[in-house]
Each structure stands twice: as C-alpha cells, then as structure tokens.
C-alpha cells in the first residue's frame, strides 16, 4: 500500500509532521515556494508554488495524504495569500484522491464566552476569522458531496519547539533569558489555552489516517489554560532560570501602534482572545484518538530553546 505524504509548508507544524512520518519510514515530501531543506533525514524537498493548482495536483499524484501546513510569512497578507492556495488544495485533493488534512486555528469561532468545542458555529466577523471559516466550509462541502476526503484540526496559540517569534509566549523568551522584562499585549492575567506544536502534528497525522475522523473539525489536546504571565514564568522555571517581570503594553500605546504598524493592526482585531478567558475544549479528540497532551513541563522546556 502506498504510504506517500505531501506536506505543504515547512513551518513548525510542517516540520513536526515530516519528522514524525519520516521516523516511522513513510515517504515524505515537503513542498515550499523556496524549496526549503528541513534537514530531516529521509525527507525529499520540492520547490513548488502550491497556489498553482496544476503544479500542486501533479505533485500530489500518488499521494496518500496532502497536508496543508502552509502559513504566510507576512501576517498582513492573508487576503491575498489564502484564497488561491485554498482553491488549489481542493483541486489537488479531488484529482489525486489524497486525504486533505488541514492545519486550522480557532479564528473561525470569533469572540466566545465559554470553552470552545467543535460543535460551536464558525461565527467570526473579522476578516481573518471569516476567511478561515470559509476555507473549511468549502472543503467540508466537497467532502459531504463525496468529491474529496477532508479533515481539519484546530489548536490554540502554539508553544514548543521551533515556534520562536511566531508565538505570544515564545517570542518573549530570548529577552527573558537575559533577565529583561516581558511586555505582552492585552491582559497578562487571563486564562488562555496554549497548544504544543508537536501535539498539533500528532493529531493531524492521526486524523488524516482515521476514516472515521474525516468530515469534521477536531481540537488538539492541550494542557490546562495558563495566563501569559504564568506561561512565561513556567517556561523559565522549567530550565532553572529566574522569573522576570511581566507587564501589559498600555492600551493607549497598543491602539496608537495599530494605526501605524500593519501587524499590530491585525493583532488588534483579534485582541478579544486576550481580554477574556480563551479556553479550548478538547474532550472529543482525547476520547476518539486516545490522545493526551504532552506534559506541560516538557512543553515548557522545549519552548525555552531559542
């Protein structure tokens, strides 16, 4: 039986998926625009514009699973980046017959007033949330029509190996290791779920390979929520480093920055995630897959590597 996997994207999730698959002896191809070499033994690397449906379909021919682990390097370009890429994935999945496994996020839910479970509606009103919700809705419609096999997993903000400057907690660690005060956006004392990027990869593979899991969203098993202050402190403590002060960027400064810095403007639209409890309900995936999150202490130690 063919055991060939095409991973689009070489960020933290894509790399972890590639490592896990290669370690078990699967044939693994990682495709990126630049042909980035992940340095993982046994992995083939392909230079590919995945938004080109013809090129992606050709690369996906004979593939068991097509993984969408892509993410734009520029957070402000989602509107241009995602639509053609999402459309190309659907074409490639239908032509190749490969399972389409999507790395999603929690943006489609929008602001919430209770722990997020998979049966909640995708009710976001901001453009990023609506975009991600539409991507899954289109994939699910084709799945329900019997034209593709699709599944999406959703995790909260990433921690763990390789997240670095892309994580709300991990971007604070280099300075904190030098004893510098950490400055966080919005509230530092609100419970927030953080998801290990390795657990994300584990669930993505498991969901892709389980026919009974297809056609729906699954939440990545994650550790109990922490505040931003707790998470930063516990990452430092895990490697024997002293805690540092954690302060909130004053709201007027945050608002002012959003007018002149495009990235901050984008983050401000999602600030609801950090002004009220933002908690993931992962019971369905724990029960279905028999999967538990990596112990928090281990996640913290890996998050401390910069």
Q: What does the pLDDT profile of the chain (306 residues) look like in tens digits?
A: 479 999 999 999 999 999 999 999 999 999 999 999 999 999 999 999 999 999 999 999 999 999 999 988 888 889 999 999 999 999 999 999 999 999 999 999 999 999 999 999 999 999 999 999 999 999 999 999 999 999 999 999 999 999 998 899 999 999 999 999 999 999 999 999 999 999 999 999 999 999 999 999 999 999 999 999 999 999 999 999 999 999 999 988 888 888 888 778 888 889 999 999 999 999 999 999 999 999 999 999 999 997
Delimit the domains of the chain by residue range.
4-160+194-223+280-294, 167-189+226-274
Nearest to 249 by CA among 261, 238, 239: 261
pTM for this entry? 0.96
Query: Is there a contact between 289 and 279 (Cβ–Cβ < 8 Å)?
Result: no
Fold annotation for 4-160+194-223+280-294 = Rossmann fold (3.40.50)
Alpha carbon distance 196, 270 (integer Å):
20
Cα–Cα separations (whole angstroms), residue 215 to 89, 143, 255, 293: 16, 6, 40, 23
User: Measured between alpha carbons, how far apart are the two ends of the chain, in Å?
Assistant: 40
For 282, the 3-state DSSP assignment is coil
Alpha carbon distance 197, 207 (integer Å):
15
Nearest to 31 by CA among 78, 68, 72, 74: 68
């Amino acid at each position: 039986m063919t055991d060939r996997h095409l991973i689009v994207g070489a960020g933290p999730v894509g790399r972890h998926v590639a490592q896990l698959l290669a370690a078990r002896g699967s044939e693994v191809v990682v495709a990126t625009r630049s042909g980035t070499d992940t340095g993982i033994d046994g992995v083939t690397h392909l230079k590919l514009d995945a938004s080109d449906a013809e090129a992606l379909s050709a690369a996906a021919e004979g593939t068991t699973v097509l993984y969408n682990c892509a993410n734009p390097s520029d957070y402000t370009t989602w509107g241009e980046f995602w639509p053609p890429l999402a459309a190309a994935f659907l074409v490639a999945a239908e032509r190749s017959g490969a399972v389409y496994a999507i790395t999603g996020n929690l943006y489609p839910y929008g602001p919430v007033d209770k722990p997020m479970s998979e049966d909640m509606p995708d009710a976001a009103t901001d453009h990023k949330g609506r975009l991600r919700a539409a991507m899954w809705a289109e994939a699910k419609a084709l799945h329900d029509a019997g034209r593709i096999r699709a599944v999406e997993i959703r995790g909260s903000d990433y921690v763990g190996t390789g997240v670095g400057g892309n994580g709300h907690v991990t971007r604070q660690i280099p300075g904190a290791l030098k004893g510098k005060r950490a400055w966080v956006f919005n509230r530092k004392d609100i419970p927030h779920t953080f998801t290990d990027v390795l657990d994300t990869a584990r669930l993505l593979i498991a969901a892709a390979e389980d026919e009974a899991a297809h056609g729906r969203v699954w939440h990545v098993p994650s550790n109990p929520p922490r505040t931003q202050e707790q998470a930063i402190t516990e990452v430092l403590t895990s490697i024997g480093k002293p805690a540092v002060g954690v302060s909130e960027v004053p709201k007027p400064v945050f608002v002012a920055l959003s007018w002149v810095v495009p990235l901050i403007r984008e983050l401000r639209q999602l600030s609801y995630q950090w002004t009220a409890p933002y908690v993931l309900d992962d019971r369905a995936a724990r029960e279905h897959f028999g999967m538990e999150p990596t112990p928090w202490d281990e996640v913290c130690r890996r998050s401390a590597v910069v």
